[in-house]
Structure 1
Amino acid sequence: MENAGQSALLHIIVNILFLIIAWWAMQSFHIDKFIRKGKVMQARVLFILLTVALASLASDFFLQYLNYSTNLQFLFS
């Protein structure tokens, strides 16, 4: 049970870390050029959703890679 708790904590930390990195990276994108007048709120929501999607993809890739690399020990035992 302790291992499941550690895994959950690792997943939470990695997801938050990649969310921060994705938000930081998305700040370089000038979305202002694509916003219609009066649609600022929709553009902000889209920006947040794109950031969450990017962070989710990156963190899933990282966590799967970590899982696969730790499971390689069972190939040789």
Structure 2
Amino acid sequence: MEENLATELSNTTGAAGILSMAVSLLCVAIAWWSLQNLKLDTIIRYPKSSQGRLLHLLLAIVLGHFVANFLLDYLGWSLQMRRLF
């Protein structure tokens, strides 16, 4: 019985990890796509340089991370609501 519980817990943890990674990568990709419309010429001196592109990538990662955390938190909260009733 303990062996089944440990296996089930391991599988659940693994599935949650894969879901978190997939949501995070999807949100970073959406953030990258949405930041393509941002005009960085007014903020960055040379937006086509490697530093400008790196800043663009870092902005996409930060924005995607915040959105992914929100979505995953919201999913966790909605799953916890089942225990309320």
TM-score range, shorter chain: 0.7 to 0.9
Q: Which residue of 1 aligns with 2:59?
A: 50
Provide the aligned length of Structure 1 versus Structure 2: 75
What's the TM-score, normalizing by structure 2?
0.80
- SS of the residue corresponding to residue 77 of structure 2 reads helix
CA RMSD of aligned residues (A): 1.5
Structure 1: gaps (5+ residues)? none
What's the TM-score, normalizing by structure 1?
0.88
Q: What CA distance in whole angstroms lies between the structure 2 residues aligned with 1:12 and 1:27?
A: 23
What residue identity is the alignment partner of 1:56? H
Q: Greater CA radius of gyration, 1 or 2?
A: 2
Deviations 1:1-52 (A, max 9, x none): 1100110110011011111110110000011233325x82222111111110
Larger RCO, structures 1/2 (Cα 8 Å, 6+ apart): 1
